[in-house]
């Protein structure tokens, strides 16, 4: 690989000459088939040959030098590696690779990965050796196809494919005959990648694409590592088209509260309204806060917003189908959890507590609404307030399974650190081809740019939908609702000003 990278694929014919010369020189010293098989281009194969035929070392090396296959630069690159097979090819101490060596190694690896013809020619070396030795047996068509290879441009692509598949089949045969045929080669490959990981560093996309034109729009990420400290732009002002969203969400939430408070209240039965307004306010506060921080306007950091909105909607729509005692059950389940948390905190030994810790326990005890004398509060440790029923089952029962699947499910995956989400949001591929070619995953040092106005607008829309559904379920006085949201209708009649989020009606 190193030699062909340096000389170009067309010079592969020198390997054929080298194979022929070595085969002739060693003729009679060992079975000719063994000699031919050991000249397939692998360093481990050369070691296998030398183990059988000691004089092979000198012959292999001398012929390689004669044909220009073992240049100074290739030799230097080879000496970068410890535990190298056929170490006798180069008689030097191991030296860590410098720029020159890496500049030869990296394109050599990339060359075979990207250039299918180069790959095929390297895989052809073993076949070439068998051809010259007269031991290759294959069909007449294949022989005809391979005769002018790799010099006939008309048949090259076809022959490349045939060569690559023959190589695979031959490899299968060798493994069938001896499971550990490639044990030495695999061991060496591990050493190769391992040494690379120590001598060269991981490479991130932004290091390679210093030219701004290479970066796609919206990809101007904020770096978070020390090397770029001080360059990170401060969180910007709200992005164009999204600046009004926070105010909109605040107006929606306050109009919701206004509608509830100007509507005749059913104070004899206050749990439904308490639970509703509590849940909507919780989601609304989340939305308002997130809308003030454009860094959160992306899936990576904003998934919890969608999750909260959908969760609250499923809760209220599901509860609307149950016996009204469900609202009380919802509150009692929470009170029980507060008691549980207080007990858990109380497990901390006295000497580890600070004064505010005692206060926190007292607060939780208060929230458990338990009697100090008579401990009546039941702790329900099941997963939900509804006898442990899952949010998915609730969604299914109240006709929101599609919303659950399409909006909540994936956002949950992000919240629970599912691997796909980490992979796409927090990781990137190492671009150093010397790190196993295919690129391992490394933590990204760029922050997501956020600022997705469409996503942020959808939160405001969803909040509005939630509010209308809540008012509908609670049976809030229509006139009170109309008055509280009159500003919205007026705004809509004026027509959307540029960049306004579109408010959708609940359907």
Positive/negative CA dihedral, 137, 138, 144, 146: negative
Q: How many whole angstroms separate alpha carbon 430 and alpha carbon 224?
A: 17
Looking up tokens 């991130």, which residue turns up? 204
Angle made by CA atoms 421, 113, 172, in degrees to the nearest 5: 100
To the nearest whole angstrom, how small is the minimum distance from the Cβ of residue 197 to Zn ion?
A: 7
Which residue number places its CB atom closest to Zn ion? 430
To the nearest whole angstrom, how small is the minimum distance from the Cβ of residue 434 to Zn ion?
A: 8
To the nearest whole angstrom, how small is the minimum distance from the Cβ of residue 202 to Zn ion?
A: 3
To the nearest whole angstrom, how small is the minimum distance from the Cβ of residue 435 to Zn ion?
A: 3
Rounded to 5 degrees, φ, ψ at 321 are -90, -5
- For residue 178, give the DSSP letter: -
To the nearest whole angstrom, how small is the minimum distance from the Cβ of residue 317 to Zn ion?
A: 49
Rounded to 5 degrees, φ, ψ at 427 are -120, 165
Inter-axis angle of helices 453-474 and 271-291, to 10 degrees? 170
Other C-beta atoms closer than 10 Å to the C-beta of 232 total 13
Report the residue number, 198 or 350, with the smaller CB distance to Zn ion. Answer: 198
- C-alpha distances out from residue 471 to 115, 143, 482, Å: 64, 81, 11
**Residue 56 and residue 50 in contact, taking contact as beta carbons nearer than 8 Å:** yes
Report the residue number, 207 or 418, with the smaller CB distance to Zn ion. Answer: 207
Report the residue number, 340 or 426, with the smaller CB distance to Zn ion. Answer: 426
- Give strand pairing partners of 30: 27
To the nearest whole angstrom, how small is the minimum distance from the Cβ of residue 432 to Zn ion?
A: 5
To the nearest whole angstrom, how small is the minimum distance from the Cβ of residue 442 to Zn ion?
A: 6
Closest CA to 338 of 281, 386, 379, 390: 379
Report the residue number, 75 or 431, with the smaller CB distance to Zn ion. Answer: 431
Report the residue number, 189 or 378, with the smaller CB distance to Zn ion. Answer: 189
Q: CB under 5 A: which stretch of 81-89, 97-105, 107-115, 430-438 binds Zn ion? A: 430-438
Q: How many whole angstroms separate alpha carbon 485 and alpha carbon 476?
A: 13
Report the residue number, 192 or 256, with the smaller CB distance to Zn ion. Answer: 192
Residues 199-218, one symbol each (x = binds Zn ion by CB under 5 A, - = not), give: ---x----------------
Applying CB under 5 A, does 435 fall inside the site for Zn ion? Answer: yes
To the nearest whole angstrom, how small is the minimum distance from the Cβ of residue 42 to Zn ion?
A: 25
Closest CA to 485 of 151, 326, 252, 198: 252
Report the residue number, 62 or 431, with the smaller CB distance to Zn ion. Answer: 431
Closest CA to 199 of 9, 38, 434: 434
Q: CB under 5 A: which stretch of 254-262, 273-281, 424-432, 466-474 binds Zn ion? A: 424-432
Among 122, 195, 298, 430, binds Zn ion (CB under 5 A): 430
Inter-axis angle of helices 99-114 and 116-133, to 10 degrees? 80
Residues 247-276, one symbol each (x = binds Zn ion by CB under 5 A, - = not), give: ------------------------------
Applying CB under 5 A, does 105 fall inside the site for Zn ion? Answer: no
Q: CB under 5 A: which stretch of 101-109, 178-186, 295-303, 434-442 binds Zn ion? A: 434-442
- Count interface residues toward Zn ion (CB under 5 A): 4
Residues lying near Zn ion in the complex (CB under 5 A) are found at: 202, 430, 432, 435
């Amino acid at each position: 690989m190193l030699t062909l990278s340096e000389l170009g694929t067309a010079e592969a014919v020198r390997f054929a000459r080298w194979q022929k010369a070595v085969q002739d020189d060693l003729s009679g010293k060992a079975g000719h088939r063994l000699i031919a098989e050991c000249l397939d281009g692998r360093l481990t194969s050369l070691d296998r040959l030398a183990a059988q035929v000691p004089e092979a070392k000198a012959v292999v090396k001398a012929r390689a030098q004669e044909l220009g296959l073992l240049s100074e630069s290739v030799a230097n690159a080879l000496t970068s590696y410890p535990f190298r097979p056929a170490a006798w090819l180069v008689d030097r101490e191991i030296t860590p690779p410098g720029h020159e060596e890496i500049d030869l190694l990296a394109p050599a690896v990339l060359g075979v990965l990207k250039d299918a013809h180069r790959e095929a020619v390297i895989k052809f070396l073993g076949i070439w050796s068998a051809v010259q030795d007269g031991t290759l047996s294959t069909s007449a068509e294949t022989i005809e196809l391979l005769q002018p290879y790799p010099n006939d441009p008309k048949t090259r692509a076809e022959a490349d494919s045939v060569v690559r598949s023959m190589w695979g089949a031959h490899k299968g045969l060798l493994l069938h005959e001896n499971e550990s045929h490639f044990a030495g080669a695999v061991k060496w490959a591990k050493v190769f990648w391992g040494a690379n990981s120590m001598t060269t560093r991981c490479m991130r996309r932004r290091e390679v694409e210093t030219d701004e034109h290479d970066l796609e729009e919206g990809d101007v990420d904020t770096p978070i590592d020390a090397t770029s400290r001080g360059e990170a732009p401060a969180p910007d002002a709200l992005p164009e088209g999204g600046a009004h969203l926070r105010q909109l969400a605040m107006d929606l939430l306050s109009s919701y509260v206004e509608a509830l408070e100007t509507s005749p209240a059913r104070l004899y039965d206050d749990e439904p309204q308490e639970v509703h307004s509590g849940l909507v306010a919780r989601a609304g506060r989340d939305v308002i806060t997130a809308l003030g921080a454009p860094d959160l306007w992306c899936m990576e950091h904003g998934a919890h917003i969608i999750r909260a909105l959908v969760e609250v909607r499923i809760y209220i729509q599901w509860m609307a189908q149950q016996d009204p005692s469900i609202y009380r059950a919802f509150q009692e389940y929470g009170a029980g959890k507060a008691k549980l948390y207080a007990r858990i905190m109380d497990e901390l030994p006295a000497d580890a507590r600070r004064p505010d810790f005692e206060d926190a326990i007292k607060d939780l005890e208060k929230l458990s609404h338990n009697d100090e004398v008579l401990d009546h509060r039941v702790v329900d440790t099941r997963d939900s307030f509804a006898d442990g029923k899952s949010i998915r089952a609730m969604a299914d029962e109240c006709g929101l399974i599609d919303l659950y699947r399409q909006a909540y499910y994936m956002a949950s995956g992000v919240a629970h650190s599912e691997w796909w989400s980490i992979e796409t949001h927090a990781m990137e591929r190492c671009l150093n081809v010397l790190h196993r070619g295919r690129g391992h995953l490394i933590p990204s040092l760029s922050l997501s740019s956020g600022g997705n106005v469409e996503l942020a607008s959808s939160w405001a829309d969803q909040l509005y939908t939630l509010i209308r559904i809540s008012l509908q379920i609670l049976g809030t006085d229509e006139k009170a609702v109309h008055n509280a949201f009159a500003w919205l209708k007026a705004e809509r009649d004026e027509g959307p000003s540029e960049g306004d989020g579109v408010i959708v009606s609940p359907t």
